[in-house]
Structure 1
Amino acid sequence: MGSKRGNGEGSIYQRKDGLWIGAISIGRDTNGKIKRKTFSGKTRSEVNKKMKSYIADLEHGKVILNENINLQDWFIFWLENYKVNNVKVGTIEMYYSLYKNYIKDKSIGLIKLNKFKTSTLQVYYNQLINEQVTTVKRLKYLNNIIGSSLKQAILDEYLIKNPCTNISFPKIEKNEIDIFTHEEQKQFIKSLEETGDRFKTLYKFALGTGLRRGEILALKWSDIDFEKKEVSVTKSLKYGGKNELSNIDKATFILQTPKSESSIRKVPMPSNLVKELKGYKILQAKEKLKNTIVYQDNGYVFAKEDGRPIEGQYLQRYYKKALQNAGIKYRKFHITRHTYASRLIEKNVNLKVVQTLLGHSSLKMTSEIYAHVLPKQKIDAVELLNDCI
Structure 2
Amino acid sequence: MRGSVFKRCQCRDANGKRVKSCRKPHGSWSYTVDAGHAPASGKRRQITRGGFKTKGDAEEALTAELAKLNAGTWTDDKGTTVGAWLDQWLTELVAADRAVKTVTNYRTHVRDCWKPQLGHMLLREVRRGHIERVLAALAAPLDADRPSGNIGRRITRRSPATVESYRKTIRAALAAALRRELIAVNPALGRIDAIPRPATSTDDEPVMWEPEDTARFLEHVLPDRLSALYELAAYAGLRRAELCGLRWSDIDSEDTPGLTVRLTNIAVTRKEVTPEQARCPICGAEHVGRLLKPPKSRAGRRWVPLAAPALAALARHRVAQQAERDLFGVDYDDHDLVFCRPDGTPLRPDRVTVEFEQHVRACGLPVIRLHDTRHGACSLMLAGGVPIEVVQMILGHAGPEVTRRIYKHMLRRETAKQVEKASKLLTRHRPKRKAS
The alignment's TM-score, normalised by the length of structure 2, stands at: 0.71
1:213 Cα deviation from its structure 2 partner: 0.9
Q: Secondary structure at the match of 1:172?
A: coil
1:12 Cα deviation from its structure 2 partner: 4.9
Change (3 A) 1:296 1:188: same
Change (3 A) 1:123 1:202: same
Q: Distance in 1 between matches of 2:49 and 2:134?
A: 33
Q: State the identity %.
A: 23
Say whether 1:87 aligns with 2:125.
no
Change (3 A) 1:364 1:99: same
Say whether 1:147 aligns with 2:135.
no
Name 2:84's counterpart in structure 1.
73
Query: Aligned to 2:242, which of 202, 215, 232?
Result: 215
Q: Distance in 1 between matches of 2:311 and 2:44?
A: 67
Q: Secondary structure at the match of 1:237?
A: strand
1:71 Cα deviation from its structure 2 partner: 2.0
Q: Is the 8 A contact 2:248 2:337 kept in 1?
A: yes
Say whether 1:177 aligns with 2:188.
no
Q: Is the 8 A contact 2:233 2:374 kept in 1?
A: yes
Q: Distance in 2 between matches of 1:265 and 1:70?
A: 42
Q: Distance in 1 between matches of 2:389 and 2:368?
A: 27
Change (3 A) 1:379 1:245: closer
Q: Distance in 2 between matches of 1:346 and 1:177?
A: 18
Q: Distance in 2 between matches of 1:117 and 1:277?
A: 56
Name 2:15's counterpart in structure 1.
none
Amino acid at match of 2:266: K
Query: Aligned to 2:424, which of 352, 366, 386?
Result: 386
Q: Distance in 2 between matches of 1:23 and 1:154?
A: 22
Amino acid at match of 2:100: V
Q: Is the 8 A contact 2:290 2:349 kept in 1?
A: no
Q: CA RMSD in A?
A: 3.4
1:109 Cα deviation from its structure 2 partner: 2.9
Amino acid at match of 1:173: A
Change (3 A) 1:24 1:79: farther
**Deviation by residue 1:284-331 (Cα, 9 ceiling, x = unmatched):** 000112222532111100001111101211211111111121112432
Name 2:271's counterpart in structure 1.
243
Query: Aligned to 1:128, which of 120, 128, 138?
Result: 138
Query: Aligned to 1:110, which of 105, 120, 124?
Result: 120
Change (3 A) 1:203 1:188: same
**Deviation by residue 1:125-146 (Cα, 9 ceiling, x = unmatched):** 1112113453221221221221
Name 1:316's counterpart in structure 2.
353
**Deviation by residue 1:126-171 (Cα, 9 ceiling, x = unmatched):** 1121134532212212212211211222333432322212522211
Structure 1 residue runs of 5 or longer lacking an equivalent are: 3-9, 14-21, 31-37, 44-53, 55-62
Say whether 1:99 aligns with 2:110.
yes
Q: Secondary structure at the match of 1:292?
A: helix
Amino acid at match of 1:76: D
Q: Is the 8 A contact 1:136 1:170 kept in 2?
A: yes
Amino acid at match of 2:196: P
Q: Secondary structure at the match of 1:225?
A: coil
Q: Is the 8 A contact 1:267 1:357 kept in 2?
A: yes
Q: Is the 8 A contact 1:154 1:160 kept in 2?
A: yes
Say whether 1:335 aligns with 2:344.
no
Name 1:24's counterpart in structure 2.
44
Say whether 1:279 aligns with 2:316.
yes
Name 1:51's counterpart in structure 2.
none
1:217 Cα deviation from its structure 2 partner: 0.9
1:84 Cα deviation from its structure 2 partner: 3.3
Q: Is the 8 A contact 1:178 1:338 kept in 2?
A: no
Q: Secondary structure at the match of 1:255?
A: strand
Amino acid at match of 1:204: E
Q: Distance in 2 between matches of 1:337 and 1:319?
A: 14
Q: Distance in 2 between matches of 1:219 and 1:240?
A: 18
Change (3 A) 1:29 1:341: same
Change (3 A) 1:160 1:176: same
Name 1:230's counterpart in structure 2.
258
Say whether 1:298 aligns with 2:335.
yes
1:267 Cα deviation from its structure 2 partner: 1.1
Q: Distance in 2 between matches of 1:116 and 1:42?
A: 20
Q: Secondary structure at the match of 2:324?
A: helix
Q: Distance in 2 between matches of 1:244 and 1:333?
A: 23
Q: Is the 8 A contact 1:84 1:245 kept in 2?
A: no
Q: Is the 8 A contact 1:288 1:306 kept in 2?
A: yes
**Deviation by residue 1:96-146 (Cα, 9 ceiling, x = unmatched):** 122223234x22333332322222221221112113453221221221221
Change (3 A) 1:384 1:158: same
1:237 Cα deviation from its structure 2 partner: 1.7
Amino acid at match of 2:173: S
Structure 2 residue runs of 5 or longer lacking an equivalent are: 3-33, 51-65, 143-156, 279-285, 430-436
Q: Distance in 2 between matches of 1:27 and 1:311?
A: 55
1:252 Cα deviation from its structure 2 partner: 5.6
Which structure has the bigger radius of gyration?
A: 2
1:381 Cα deviation from its structure 2 partner: 2.6
1:240 Cα deviation from its structure 2 partner: 2.4
Name 2:150's counterpart in structure 1.
none
1:204 Cα deviation from its structure 2 partner: 1.0
1:211 Cα deviation from its structure 2 partner: 0.8
Query: Aligned to 2:180, which of 156, 166, 172?
Result: 156
